[in-house]
Amino acid sequence: MDMSSILCREFSLQPIHCQNVIALIDDGNTIPFIARYRKEMTGSMDDQVLREVYERLTYLRNLEKRRMEIQGSLQDQDVLNDELIAKLDAAVTLAELEDIYRPYRPKRRTRATIAKEKGLEPLSLLLLMQNEKQRTLEELAAPFISEEKGVATLDEALAGARDIIAEQMSDDADVRKAVRTLANQRGVMQTGKAKQEDSVYAMYYDFKQDLRTLPGHRILAINRGEREGFLKVNAILDDTASVTVLERAFVREGSVTTEQVRLAAEDAWQRLLCPSIEREVRSELTDRASAAAVQVFRKNLHQLLMAPPVKGRVTLGVDPGFRTGCKLAVVDAYGKVLATGVGHFTLPGQDAAKARAKTEVLALCRKFGVTAIAIGNGTASREAEQFIAALIPELPEGAAYMIVSEAGASVYSASKLAAEEFPQYDVSLRSAVSIARRMQDPLAELVKIDPKAIGVGQYQHDLKESELGEALRGVVEGCVNSVGVEVSTASAALLSYVAGIGPALAKNIIAYREENGIKTRAALKKVPKLGPKAFEQCAGFIRVADSSNVLDATSVHPESYDAAKAILDALGFALSDVRAGKLADLQTRANAKGIKTLAAELSIGEPTLRDILRELQKPGRDPRDDLPKPILRTDVLDIKDIMPGMELMGTVRNVIDFGAFVDIGVHQDGLVHISRISTRFIKHPSEALKVGDVVKVWVVEVDIKKQRIALTMLPPKA
């Protein structure tokens, strides 16, 4: 298999770029490193395309490995011939390979194998040939009737022969492919009630939809409902058309055995093929839905991790609660914990406790200069928000608050990682610290949590652990490396996602930093077990702000330091001008000289030259700074305050197949259905929205009893 040609065709790549990507991957280079520092070799492919190429390459290699395994097995069985080799070579999916191998795969004892043990295989061949026009069925079957072999009558002989034919039909690769295609085109998913009780699956208690139009979120919902015992589920396939496929492949008219073959075809479908194809089709539907759900999770997680940080503010984190009170943590502008406490201000009544809490919280905020408050969105969040909103006028000017998703905070606060980071605090106080830091720097804090626990997908707990884990790790890795990591303050969790490092090396870096400090990028080479390859992969993504070499604080890779100095020299600048911020017209001078000319003079690739120029102008630039800032609030809304037609600004919290959930400053997020997102047609909400977007919405409907708010992004007609 020429995998390079297949990848070139499927991804519209130049052969040289595709071959280079394969070679770079095989040489142990990471995707972030290839995407950022090997652009000349890859044609500037971004990390997402590179990951897709890598995943497809892995699939093709597994396909080839399985092809060789099957070929070896067929050879051992002494059945391999030119026809089978050609079929195996032509197979382009694992399913096709398995269909070809199916007749030769070791089987459990079946009705067909029992019939063969009774000596009925020659009779099955006579029937299937359908050449007999003279002899009767009795004459054909007579030699095979033997009480000694357990074949006492004509009917038993014919039934056994038909069992052999039916199994042969059901194992035929071409037939399986044809009926599978037919099932996907004409099949219908039908669901019904399995329990006499109400549930969230009520809409599926009497439900039908064509398989080919069934959206992914419904497939996963139906699967979960069936698994939890609320739904009975059937994939209804077209029996008549499917039997016709079998008859066209095996039945020939005009023979006394024709009717026996026709009966075998009906049996093959009803007893063998139909249940098998139904399982396969549902499995394929689930795989398709899972793949789509993983993509939704990927996109949402990327946007959540890349949410703009709230920089330079001393922050109060509030983890709301009722009986045990609200846990409080004040952190400085860099995330260092300054103070912790507990405030009882969410239970109804208890005015004395609320008055004490007000005094304590105001004292904390004034003492440390708190100007930002992060409130977790869990239990008692609305009551905590009302209390904090009332304090805003008494806080320093510019103070504001934001509701922060608590998803995964409890998982983190009870984790070994949190215990190592904050051994002096109990679990609930760690959660308050995490909430504060989530607002200050979402990426640095959320990397400490299993991505599946962050909750920005759909049915993530129903997806295959390995596939979801691999996909989400890639997202986190991509985000961390696109932003870069300051080595002097980064946690082990954050460092572990840097290209080429991983958890073990991250701990080594932290240990070395605490003992010796890390003053330059070159000092990383002294970290135990951080060898030349790991240094090559990680160095460009590590920032050392206080280094004597200003380039150590940028995304310029050490391998390009000489090139960066040559660029500055060629354009009339010095390295000291970078730190002094005197490169305002660097790009203008480069354009005047000509990018192509400058690249040729300095023997630098054009993509690398452009990257270095961009980085020198804005050293250590954080790509998140270019995104819309999060909404900080100073007042509070109750769901009872929300009225149809009201115009509000909100933040997109989650994007799913059928719409998007938007935080409008009420305890309950509102839903914008896909039909109300855009005036143009969109197949998926992600075409128009992403997590973190600040959007204008209008209230359509409010259901206070069910705590549901329907929103629209379509402006009301005048």
For the chain, state the CA radius of gyration. Answer: 33
Q: Provide the pLDDT confidence category of residue 457 given band limits of 50, 70 and 90.
A: low
Would the pLDDT of 142 be above 90? Answer: yes
Would the pLDDT of 286 be above 70? Answer: yes
The CA-based dihedral angle spanning residues 587, 591, 594, 596, taken in that order and rounded to the nearest 10 degrees: 60
- What are the angstrom distances between the C-alpha of 277 and each of 176, 210, 239, 288, 427? 8, 16, 12, 16, 50
- The position carrying tokens 């037939």 is 175
pLDDT at 500: 95
Would the pLDDT of 459 be above 80? Answer: no
Which of 468-477, 522-531, 615-624 has the largest mean confidence?
522-531
Q: Provide the pLDDT confidence category of residue 106 given band limits of 50, 70 and 90.
A: confident
C-alpha to C-alpha distance for 203 and 217, rounded to whole angstroms: 13
Backbone angles phi, psi at 265, to 5 degrees: -65, -45
Q: Provide the pLDDT confidence category of residue 197 given band limits of 50, 70 and 90.
A: confident
Helix (H, G, I), strand (E, B) or coil at 379: coil
Q: Among the listed ranges 27-36, 184-193, 401-410, 593-602, which one has the minimum average pLDDT value?
A: 401-410
C-alpha to C-alpha distance for 430 and 529, rounded to whole angstroms: 32
C-alpha to C-alpha distance for 345 and 335, rounded to whole angstroms: 25
- Look at residues 432, 189, 366 and name the one whose alpha carbon lies nearest to residue 289: 189
pLDDT at 295: 84
> What is the overall mean pLDDT for the chain?
90
Report yes or no: 529 and 508 within 8 Å, Cβ to Cβ.
yes
- The position carrying tokens 């390859």 is 533
In the chain, what are the domains? 3-104 (1.10.10.650), 111-187+237-299 (1.10.3500.10), 309-471 (3.30.420.140), 639-712 (2.40.50.140)
Would the pLDDT of 163 be above 90? Answer: yes
Q: Among the listed ranges 453-457, 551-555, 649-653, 702-706, which one has the minimum average pLDDT value?
A: 453-457
pLDDT at 464: 73
Averaged pLDDT, 323-334: 91
Q: Among the listed ranges 122-126, 630-634, 690-694, which one has the minimum average pLDDT value?
A: 630-634
- The position carrying tokens 């009774």 is 118
Task: Give bridge partners of residue 374 from the DSSP assignment.
Answer: 317, 402
pLDDT at 630: 72
Q: Provide the pLDDT confidence category of residue 562 given band limits of 50, 70 and 90.
A: very high
Query: Which strand (E) or helix (H) includes residue 691?
Result: none
pLDDT at 452: 73
pLDDT at 323: 85
Q: Provide the pLDDT confidence category of residue 460 given band limits of 50, 70 and 90.
A: low
Report yes or no: 697 and 672 within 8 Å, Cβ to Cβ.
yes
DSSP secondary structure code for residue 236 in this structure: E
Question: What does 134-169 look like in DSSP terms, one character per residue?
Answer: SS-HHHHHGGG-BGGGTB-SHHHHHHHHHHHHHHHH
Would the pLDDT of 425 be above 90? Answer: no
Task: Name the token pair of 19.
Answer: 């071959």
pLDDT at 297: 84
Q: Among the listed ranges 100-104, 367-371, 406-410, which one has the minimum average pLDDT value?
A: 406-410
Would the pLDDT of 627 be above 90? Answer: no
Q: Among the listed ranges 98-112, 373-387, 595-609, which one has the minimum average pLDDT value?
A: 373-387
pLDDT at 451: 76
- The residues, ordered by sequence, that sit 6+ positions from 427 with a Cβ below 8 Å of its Cβ are 410, 413, 414, 418
pLDDT greater at residue 113 or residue 426: 113
C-alpha to C-alpha distance for 444 and 309, rounded to whole angstroms: 10
SS (H, E, C) 104-133: HCCCCCCHHHHHHHCCCHHHHHHHHHCCCC
Would the pLDDT of 499 be above 70? Answer: yes
Report yes or no: 372 and 310 within 8 Å, Cβ to Cβ.
yes
Would the pLDDT of 298 be above 70? Answer: yes
Q: Provide the pLDDT confidence category of residue 497 given band limits of 50, 70 and 90.
A: very high
pLDDT at 633: 67
Report yes or no: 161 and 120 within 8 Å, Cβ to Cβ.
yes
Task: Give bridge partners of residue 672 from the DSSP assignment.
Answer: 660, 711
Averaged pLDDT, 331-352: 90
pLDDT at 265: 97
pLDDT tens-place string over residues 222-280: 999 999 999 999 999 999 999 999 999 999 999 999 999 999 999 999 999 999 999 99
Report yes or no: 253 and 262 within 8 Å, Cβ to Cβ.
no
Q: Provide the pLDDT confidence category of residue 199 given band limits of 50, 70 and 90.
A: confident
pLDDT greater at residue 456 or residue 98: 98
- The position carrying tokens 């006394």 is 256
- What are the angstrom distances between the C-alpha of 651 and each of 300, 535, 662? 13, 39, 5
- Look at residues 25, 31, 34 and name the one whose alpha carbon lies nearest to residue 57: 25
In the chain the first and final C-alpha atoms are separated, in Å, by 62
pLDDT tens-place string over residues 466-482: 777 778 888 889 999 99
- The position carrying tokens 């909100």 is 650
